[in-house]
Structure 1
Amino acid sequence: MTAIEDTAEQLPDDPATPARLLWRNRDYTGWWIAGTISEFGTALSTVAFPLLILAVTGSAARAGFVGSAEGIGALATMLLGGALADRFSRRTILITGPLTQALVVSTVVAAVATGHVNIAHLTAVGFIQGAVGGLAGGAGFAALRRVVPASQLPTAFAQYQGRMMAIRLAGPTSGGFLFALARWVPFLGDAISFLVGALGVVLIRTPLGPDPDERKPGEPVITSIRAGFDFIRGNAYLRFLTTWVALANASIAGMFLLVIVLVRNQHGSSTVVGAVTSLGAVGGLAGSLFSSRIARRIPGRRLVMAVSWLTALGSVGIALVPWPWAIGALLAAMMFLIGPINVVFETYEARMIPDALMGRVSSAINFSAASIRWLGPLAAGYLAATIGSTAATLVIASVLTAIAVSTHIARGLHVLNEPVDQIRTDA
């Protein structure tokens, strides 16, 4: 039995009030609040970076440099971050990461305030931000399982889903408003938010691991990273999860681009485009509020199959309906469904992976998912230009249909028939 299971069994387990019990967890509550502030600060700068570049250069192409650099930086370090999370102090990683990001973003504050904005500098900042985020990602997922009792993981993941969707709604608008006040303000807010994020980790009392007997400092990094992929290859459920998430993420990313194109083709204004895409975030936020209850009451395998098919059908509807607001409603419905399925996947993932491998395995899954996500918008844009946006959306729908079919034949998905509280790690 792992240390995680010992902790979980010592804490109260009342399925009727999981959220209330979770908020009584001082470590979790403080970390969650600090993380919310940190992610909101990141949302401010996410919209402020392209606004700044457009204001300085007027180039949309250059405005994409920072976002691309950040994504490349995250991919470059994600696997290394997982290895580090299983051999060095996760607490140290989760503190030094935000402190580094705060320092880097503060250089943008200085550059904007003094009028010395340089595209190369901003691109480097984006890359470093992504790289540091990649290094810390594995430690964050592993630390969460230390802080949260196993029986309350579905509620915790549902709350994280809700936070993400709420920030996706409020962050861009707030960032644009602050940018209008003064160009350096959203970047200052981001820098301060990273400091708050680091403070939240400092205040956690629970040991975050890895324990001294779990560390293998003499093991080569490549060998350590390979162990994460080996564990996935040896587990039918994790093999399915990795493939499903990678294909679904790429498809949904392409779908978001096609939604914009479809609405524009239906003579929707920029305001309508923004409102339609915001409906997706509203649906995701609503789904997160119910995702824990849904995940607890519907068997996991049945839920994954149902959501996969409904998502495929929803994408067909998006391709064929002739009204922008109908597209928005279908997009909201699809995003509503994603919340519960993410809770199922993440809960079983957290229960199934040994703590000593948590950083490497979770980072390997995230890396695989992110590694082809960029193909979705690229393929969607190419198809829309060559065969039209409606046909391109139907192509995406066919991929989602294939994913739905796979849920009926995937051997690894049968583990979701077992109640999550019966899942035990091997270490």
Structure 2
Amino acid sequence: MTATEAASDETSDETGRRARLLFRNRDYTGWWIGETVSEFGGALSVVAYPLLILGVTGSASGAGAVTAAVSIGGLVTMLIGGALADRISRRTILTAGPLVQAVAVATVVVAVATDHVNVAHIAAVGFVQGLVSGLAGGAEFAALRRVVPEQQLPTAFAQLQGRTMAIRLAGPSAGGFLFGVARWIPFFGDAVSFLASALGVLLIRRPLGPDLDEREPHESMVASIGAGFRFIRGNAYLRFLTIWAALANACNAGMLLLVIVLIHSRHGSATLVGAATSLGAVGGLAGSFLSGRIAKRVPGRLLVIVVSWTTTGVLIGIALVSQAWLIGTLLALMMFLIAPINVVFATYEARTIPDALMGRVTSAINFGAASIRWLGALGAGALASAFSPTAAMLVFAGILAAIALSTHFASGLHVLNEPIDDATAD
């Protein structure tokens, strides 16, 4: 055995040891199980909601309205949630939120089981789910820091990333299959999963904060939120990232809805829709394993340019092919490339944003990135209804082509030409 092999084995053993120690942490294990059940329940309904609207009304615009409602709801409360997490009990936020979501989704179960489904009701439920997710998002990371010792945080984040990729792989297929068995089943599973999330938080023994001395009056919420946006405005790279992510996310939301509409319009089953979506997750899972190596070997600016043009080609391909498995394969290619670009963006943010502004700046970036996501789903549904799903997909491909062209000239992107390790806080 060479020295390199020995070092590799030692690193692998250390990683495994840390993972075992982490799961001996009762608070973390209970929370992790509850969140896993909840995330899987949510994955069941990701495919089920558009299929429900398409099955009941046949309206692609209605399906787009429901998808948009979730995004809009989260957008309304995202910035407020980050500020509230440092002002009131995080345990209360993380317990009450899932209970509200469980009640909201339960009304969908009743509506589907009794054949009283209408777009306005389903959109309202999606909006409520988005509102709660936006509020709870600010407390989740802070609570995790209380539950997991600092030296074990990298292991915890790796486990969470792997869990998310695995659920994205299995969830849509399971949701499509269960929807085919009985339309109400995926929504029932989603409602029950929220209860598991609340229970997992209630079983945590240690305090989640904020402590009493941390609740002393600080600057106003508006001023605190504004500081994050001011920092972005003064940084050319962060300005580019926020605008690029906003447009890309809107196109991605529209594309995912149009994939469902395309397969459905070609008489594909709910199971086939779920399978194609899950095939895309396979690419994301593979990309997550290789993202570190790719990010180290490919300059960041070049990676952004390549991914921007590749996603344009993927959308053109999806619009023109007819087989569901080919659509899934193209999705897999796109998701494979998105994983390493996320590593570049996240690493550069972590190294260039001052610690004192980290929460406010990152929440502002996330807010900007999600700001028009709802418009992508709404526009996709409207275009598909007015023209055709194929034409709508080509419109989104044109928008991505314009974004890809801009990456060649964006001054803020040139900073990624330098090694990421050389980046420092501004």
TM range (shorter): 0.7 to 0.9
> Residue 394 of structure 1: CA displacement?
4.7
Cα distance change on mapping 1:405 and 1:142 into 2, 3 Å = farther
Corresponding position of 1:5: none
Residue 230 of structure 2 is aligned to residue 230 of structure 1: yes
Q: How does 1:1-400 map to 2 (within 5 A)?
A: 20=16, 23=19, 24-26=21-23, 31-46=31-46, 58-60=56-58, 67-105=67-105, 111=110, 124-143=124-143, 147=148, 160-175=160-175, 186-201=186-201, 217=217, 219-259=219-259, 268-271=266-269, 275-319=275-319, 325-353=325-353, 357-380=357-380, 393-400=393-400
Alignment-mate amino acid for residue 404 of structure 2: A
Alignment-mate amino acid for residue 22 of structure 2: N
Q: Please tell me whether the aligned partners of residues 283 and 336 of structure 1 are also in contact (alpha carbons under 8 angstroms).
A: yes
Alignment-mate amino acid for residue 245 of structure 1: A
Cα distance change on mapping 1:300 and 1:42 into 2, 3 Å = same
Alignment-mate amino acid for residue 138 of structure 2: G
Alignment-mate amino acid for residue 309 of structure 2: W
Give the distance between the partners of 2:171 and 2:153, measured in 1 at CA: 28
Which deviates the most, 209-218 or 402-411? 209-218
Residue deviations 1:148-199 (CA, integer Å, cap 9, x gap) = 859975x766654553443334334434555677776545533442233234
> Residue 37 of structure 1: CA displacement?
1.2
Give the distance between the partners of 2:99 and 2:193, measured in 1 at CA: 10
Residue deviations 1:221-260 (CA, integer Å, cap 9, x gap) = 3223222222322333322221111111122233345556
Q: Please tell me whether the aligned partners of residues 231 and 361 of structure 1 are also in contact (alpha carbons under 8 angstroms).
A: yes
Which deviates the most, 379-388 or 287-296? 379-388
> Residue 38 of structure 1: CA displacement?
1.0
In structure 1, runs of 5+ residues without a counterpart are 1-13
Residue deviations 1:400-424 (CA, integer Å, cap 9, x gap) = 3333344444444455456666666
Give the distance between the partners of 1:205 and 1:326, measured in 2 at CA: 49
> Residue 32 of structure 1: CA displacement?
3.9
Cα distance change on mapping 1:388 and 1:412 into 2, 3 Å = same
Alignment-mate amino acid for residue 83 of structure 1: A
Q: Please tell me whether the aligned partners of residues 172 and 274 of structure 2 are also in contact (alpha carbons under 8 angstroms).
A: no
Which deviates the most, 412-421 or 225-234? 412-421
Q: Please tell me whether the aligned partners of residues 159 and 288 of structure 1 are also in contact (alpha carbons under 8 angstroms).
A: no
Give the distance between the partners of 2:315 and 2:149, measured in 1 at CA: 36
Cα distance change on mapping 1:148 and 1:288 into 2, 3 Å = farther
SS at match of 2:373: coil
Q: Please tell me whether the aligned partners of residues 69 and 374 of structure 2 are also in contact (alpha carbons under 8 angstroms).
A: no
Q: Please tell me whether the aligned partners of residues 141 and 359 of structure 1 are also in contact (alpha carbons under 8 angstroms).
A: no
Give the distance between the partners of 2:424 and 2:201, measured in 1 at CA: 27
Q: Please tell me whether the aligned partners of residues 86 and 359 of structure 1 are also in contact (alpha carbons under 8 angstroms).
A: no
> Residue 135 of structure 1: CA displacement?
0.6
Residue deviations 1:92-142 (CA, integer Å, cap 9, x gap) = 433332243345445666x56996968576554433222111111223345
Give the distance between the partners of 1:203 and 1:351, measured in 2 at CA: 35
Cα distance change on mapping 1:177 and 1:377 into 2, 3 Å = closer
TM-score by length of 1: 0.73
Give the distance between the partners of 2:107 and 2:399, measured in 1 at CA: 43
Give the distance between the partners of 1:344 and 1:50, measured in 2 at CA: 32
Cα distance change on mapping 1:210 and 1:422 into 2, 3 Å = farther
In structure 2, runs of 5+ residues without a counterpart are 1-9
Q: Please tell me whether the aligned partners of residues 111 and 117 of structure 2 are also in contact (alpha carbons under 8 angstroms).
A: no
Q: Please tell me whether the aligned partners of residues 82 and 225 of structure 1 are also in contact (alpha carbons under 8 angstroms).
A: no
Give the distance between the partners of 1:151 and 1:415, measured in 2 at CA: 31
> Residue 40 of structure 1: CA displacement?
0.9
Aligned residue-pair number = 407
Cα distance change on mapping 1:291 and 1:149 into 2, 3 Å = farther
Corresponding position of 1:11: none
Give the distance between the partners of 2:319 and 2:377, measured in 1 at CA: 16
> Residue 29 of structure 1: CA displacement?
5.7
RMSD over equivalenced CA pairs, Å = 4.5
TM-score by length of 2: 0.73
Cα distance change on mapping 1:321 and 1:150 into 2, 3 Å = farther
Cα distance change on mapping 1:103 and 1:356 into 2, 3 Å = farther
SS at match of 1:25: helix
Give the distance between the partners of 1:378 and 1:179, measured in 2 at CA: 23
Alignment-mate amino acid for residue 40 of structure 1: F
Q: Please tell me whether the aligned partners of residues 82 and 364 of structure 1 are also in contact (alpha carbons under 8 angstroms).
A: no
Residue deviations 1:292-348 (CA, integer Å, cap 9, x gap) = 443455454443333233323434444566766444422221121112222332344
> Residue 285 of structure 1: CA displacement?
2.9
Alignment-mate amino acid for residue 137 of structure 2: G
